[in-house]
């Protein structure tokens, strides 16, 4: 390749970079015109002044002052009408005074400081605001109905009560209704939080938003699309987001007394000196630019640091609220637990049992290994979620699986087939010598269907474990029950550290909200060491509880995943979606999202939010302190209005450098 040919791609890349840079610059100018125009006009004014046209230079500076002062005056008057008081009042007085006293350079510098600070703040708050777009995209849009012998599609909104619709495998149920024909397993995880699919047969209720996993269902609708469960959840999210109070600038909390002090000092300087320029100099030194800049720069730095730690904050308000939350509320399934069933034990016919959260250790016993291998061999031909869990457990233990003959499945009930025996299997004395054995794995109904007797001891064991929220499948070898496979949604391995670490970070109370039974909820709550457990919660119950805490003056952090958590995520001061890949319902409703499934990232987010706001408040106090010192010097005539504006620019640099510390790595 010639040097010319090599240079062409480089030139093309450079041109592309310049084009993108130009587009970004143009976009910034269109979004924040005042600071860019102010800088341009001030350069023009400097040119006229250097050319000896001082009068024209002053007129240009007056134009800059009016350009920024009039919009600010309009916004301030609107705030006063709505009984809101901010630090902008000082800026209005400083700009107005500079015009009256013909101190146009001071007025132009104040305009530049204010407009630049507001542009930085707007940029921080513009970062990826939360929306309902992804949740709306998940809503069922069409339904299948029979027209004669032809299956046609109609919009979900046109489905009326009493119509019979068809739902194919892999599709969302568009409306609430009752199964009239067919049977299938439905995943209701996004609605109820339960990870285990529910088998639906004729006469059973199905909810819109459920995912049909395998069979074809015919459903008689009982509600229209706009009245369905999915639509209710959408409505709750919309309502929660529209009612959420806007986040005011942190500096406004300090504005009232600082403004009174500044105006009082300016008035005293005027009265004592008899020179109104002294008063203007005080007001210019009191301009709130350091106060305004402290928050957005710290927040922008915090947003970047959060992103580097896999924490996506969708607004500056989210970071600010993270620094103030005092109650943390958690969903269970998929949040405090892994959200998928795992094999946790094998109970033998003689009630022997080995349990552990580490699958490879709990199944090290040779009999456990043999039972698991035989069960996984037949389960590998099934698509059921429990089958996948059993196969994964066997693979983790490096159990060799065998091809099965005569496979039969009754979906949702069990599977059976003949599994070839390996040399290691024949070492077990309870296995009869032979080439293969018949293996059946399933629930009680499946075993009764096969006319296999169930031992009373294992039935009692099953009952106890079901009450603890576990799932049990019988294992039969040659039509004789040999054991019980135990599966459950296991807690996250780092869960025991969650609540103590949050308490150390300043959280006063941790709460578990779940739709599960009280027994299961208390088990997970004990492991997580939460302060309060509330079970059998529907989505609307979660919203109500979160709102109750908010009304009591608390700031609530809600952590969850799935559609069922979306309303509560939107209602909380900070909603945090856990481990969401892409734009899911939970990520759309929440104003923060964790890209990792590590639950301890929640602690990182809280620590980060508190640190960011500590630095922001620190910047405000430093800014006010320096401004107060400059105001005192200005009151005695040591600082002119223009010099005061330049000194304020120096204060801005100090505040910005301090705020940038929020972006330094702390983990």
Annotate 527-548 with three-state secondary structure: HHCCCEEECCCCHHHHHHHHHH
Q: Which candidate, 334, 416, 399, 405, places its Cα nearest to that of 364?
A: 399
Backbone torsion region of residue 207, taken as left when φ is above 0, otherwise alpha when ψ lies between -120 and 50, otherwise beta: beta
Tell me the pLDDT tens digit for each residue of 80-117: 676 665 566 777 778 888 888 888 887 787 787 777 76
Tell how strand 480-491 and strand 337-348 pair up.
antiparallel
Tell me the pLDDT tens digit for each residue of 12-62: 555 655 666 676 667 767 777 888 888 888 888 888 888 888 888 889 888
- Asked if 225 and 159 count as a contact pair (C-beta separation under 8 A), the reply is yes
Provide, rounded to the nearest whole percent, the portion of the chain with pLDDT above 90.
Answer: 23
Which pair of structure tokens corresponds to residue 310?
């896999």
What homologous superfamily is domain 312-337+492-609 in, according to CATH?
HAD superfamily/HAD-like (3.40.50.1000)
Rounded-to-integer distance, Cα 567 and Cα 533, Å = 19
Least reliable range by pLDDT among 24-33, 209-218, 350-359, 422-431: 350-359
Q: What local confidence, expressed as pLDDT, does residue 118 receive?
A: 66
Q: What local confidence, expressed as pLDDT, does residue 580 receive?
A: 44
393 vs 243, residue with greater confidence: 393
Q: Which candidate, 514, 516, 520, 515, places its Cα nearest to that of 467?
A: 520
**Cβ atoms within 10 Å, residue 338:** 17
Which pair of structure tokens corresponds to residue 212?
């049909």
Please return the burial class of 506, using the count of CB atoms within 10 Å of its CB with bins 0-12, 13-18 and 19+: middle
Q: What local confidence, expressed as pLDDT, does residue 85 receive?
A: 58
Q: What local confidence, expressed as pLDDT, does residue 582 receive?
A: 36
Length of the chain: 667
Judged against a pLDDT cut of 50, whether residue 5 lies above it is answered with no
Judged against a pLDDT cut of 60, whether residue 585 lies above it is answered with no
Q: What local confidence, expressed as pLDDT, does residue 52 receive?
A: 85
Tell me the pLDDT tens digit for each residue of 151-207: 888 888 888 888 999 999 888 888 888 899 898 888 876 655 456 788 888 888 888
Q: What local confidence, expressed as pLDDT, does residue 247 receive?
A: 44
Task: Count each helix (H run) and each strand (E run) in the chain, helices first.
Answer: 24, 23
* pTM value > 0.85: no
Domain ranges of the chain: 139-241, 312-337+492-609, 339-491
Judged against a pLDDT cut of 60, whether residue 363 lies above it is answered with no
Q: What local confidence, expressed as pLDDT, does residue 442 receive?
A: 94
Q: What local confidence, expressed as pLDDT, does residue 438 receive?
A: 93
Provide, rounded to the nearest whole percent, the portion of the chain with pLDDT above 70.
Answer: 79
Q: Which candidate, 487, 535, 482, places its Cα nearest to that of 513?
A: 535
According to CATH, the topology of domain 339-491 is Calcium-transporting ATPase, cytoplasmic domain N (3.40.1110)
Q: What local confidence, expressed as pLDDT, does residue 24 receive?
A: 67
The average pLDDT across 627-634 equals: 91
C-alpha distances in Å from residue 271, one per residue of 136, 232, 257, 441: 63, 65, 21, 94
Locate all alpha helices (DSSP H) within 562-600, ordered by sequence: 566-571, 585-589
Least reliable range by pLDDT among 38-42, 190-194, 368-372, 587-591: 190-194
Pick from 177-191, 353-367, 467-481, 552-566 the range whose average pLDDT is largest: 467-481
The average pLDDT across 658-665 equals: 79
Q: Which candidate, 558, 506, 510, places its Cα nearest to that of 532?
A: 510
Backbone angles phi, psi at 625, to 5 degrees: -65, -50
C-alpha distances in Å from residue 115, one per residue of 65, 76, 289, 649: 11, 14, 9, 13
Q: What local confidence, expressed as pLDDT, does residue 583 receive?
A: 40
**DSSP-assigned beta bridge partners for residue 165:** 145, 219
489 contact partners, CB below 8 Å, separation of at least 6: 195, 196, 333, 337, 338, 339, 340, 341, 342, 469
Tell me the pLDDT tens digit for each residue of 260-308: 888 889 899 999 988 888 988 898 888 766 666 677 778 778 877 887 7
500 contact partners, CB below 8 Å, separation of at least 6: 529
**Cβ atoms within 10 Å, residue 121:** 20
Judged against a pLDDT cut of 70, whether residue 371 lies above it is answered with yes
CATH class of the structural domain 139-241: mainly beta
């Amino acid at each position: 390749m010639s040097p010319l040919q090599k240079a062409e791609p480089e030139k093309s890349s450079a041109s592309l970079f310049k084009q993108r840079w130009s587009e970004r610059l143009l976009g910034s100018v269109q979004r924040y015109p005042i600071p860019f125009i102010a800088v341009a006009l001030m350069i023009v004014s400097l040119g006229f002044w250097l050319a000896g046209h001082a009068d024209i230079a002053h007129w240009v500076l007056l134009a800059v002052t009016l350009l920024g002062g009039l919009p600010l005056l309009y916004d301030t008057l609107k705030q006063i009408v709505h009984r809101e008081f901010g630090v902008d009042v000082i800026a209005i007085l400083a700009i107005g005074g500079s015009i009256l006293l013909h101190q146009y350079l001071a007025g132009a510098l104040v305009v530049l400081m204010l407009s630049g600070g507001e542009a930085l703040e707007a940029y921080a708050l513009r970062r990826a605001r939360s929306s309902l777009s992804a949740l709306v995209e998940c809503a069922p849009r069409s339904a299948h109905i029979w027209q004669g012998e032809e299956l046609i599609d109609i919009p979900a909104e046109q489905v009326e009560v009493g119509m019979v619709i068809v739902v194919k495998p892999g599709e969302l149920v568009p409306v609430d209704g009752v199964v009239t024909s067919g049977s299938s397993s439905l995943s209701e995880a996004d609605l109820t939080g339960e990870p285990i699919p529910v088998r639906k047969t004729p006469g059973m209720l199905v909810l819109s938003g459920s995912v049909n996993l395998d069979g074809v269902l015919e459903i008689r609708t009982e509600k229209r699309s706009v009245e369905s469960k999915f639509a209710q959840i959408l409505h709750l999210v919309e309502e929660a987001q529209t009612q959420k109070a806007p986040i005011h600038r942190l500096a406004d909390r300090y504005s009232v007394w600082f403004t009174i002090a500044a105006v009082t000092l300016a008035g005293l300087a005027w009265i004592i000196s008899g020179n109104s320029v002294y008063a203007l100099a005080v007001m210019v030194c009191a301009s709130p630019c350091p106060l305004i800049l402290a928050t957005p720069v710290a927040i922008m730095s915090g947003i970047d640091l959060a992103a580097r730690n896999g924490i996506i904050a969708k607004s500056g308000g989210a970071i600010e609220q993270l620094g103030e939350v005092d109650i943390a509320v958690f969903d269970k399934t998929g949040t405090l637990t892994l959200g998928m069933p795992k094999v946790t034990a094998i109970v033998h016919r003689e009630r022997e049992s080995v349990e552990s959260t580490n699958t490879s250790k709990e199944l090290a016993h040779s009999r456990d290994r043999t039972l698991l291998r035989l069960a996984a061999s037949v389960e590998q031909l099934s698509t059921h979620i429990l089958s996948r869990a059993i196969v994964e457990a066997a693979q983790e233990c490096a159990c060799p699986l065998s091809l099965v003959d005569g496979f039969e499945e009754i979906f949702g009930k069990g599977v059976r087939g003949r599994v070839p025996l390996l040399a290691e299997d024949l070492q077990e004395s309870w296995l009869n010598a032979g080439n293969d054995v018949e293996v059946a794995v399933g629930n009680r109904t499946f075993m009764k269907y096969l006319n296999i007797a169930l031992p009373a001891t294992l039935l009692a064991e099953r009952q106890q474990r079901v009450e603890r929220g576990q799932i049990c499948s019988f294992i039969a070898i040659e039509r004789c029950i040999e054991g019980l496979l135990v599966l459950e949604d296991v807690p996250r391995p780092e869960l025991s550290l969650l609540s103590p670490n949050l308490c150390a970070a300043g959280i006063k109370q941790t709460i578990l909200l779940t739709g599960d039974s009280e027994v299961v909820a208390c088990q997970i709550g004990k492991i997580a060491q939460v302060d309060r457990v509330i079970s059998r919660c529907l989505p609307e119950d979660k919203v109500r509880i979160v709102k109750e805490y908010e009304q009591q003056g608390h700031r609530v952090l809600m952590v969850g995943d799935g559609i069922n958590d979306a309303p509560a995520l939107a209602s909380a001061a900070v909603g945090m979606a856990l481990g969401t890949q892409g734009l899911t319902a939970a990520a759309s409703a929440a104003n923060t999202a964790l890209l990792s499934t590590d639950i301890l990232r929640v602690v990182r987010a809280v620590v980060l939010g508190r640190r960011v706001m500590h630095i922001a408040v620190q910047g405000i106090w430093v800014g006010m302190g320096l401004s107060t010192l400059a105001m005192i010097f200005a009151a005695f005539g040591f600082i002119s209005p223009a010099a005061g504006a330049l000194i304020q620019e120096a204060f801005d640099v100090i505040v910005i450098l301090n705020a940038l510390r929020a972006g330094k790595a702390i983990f």
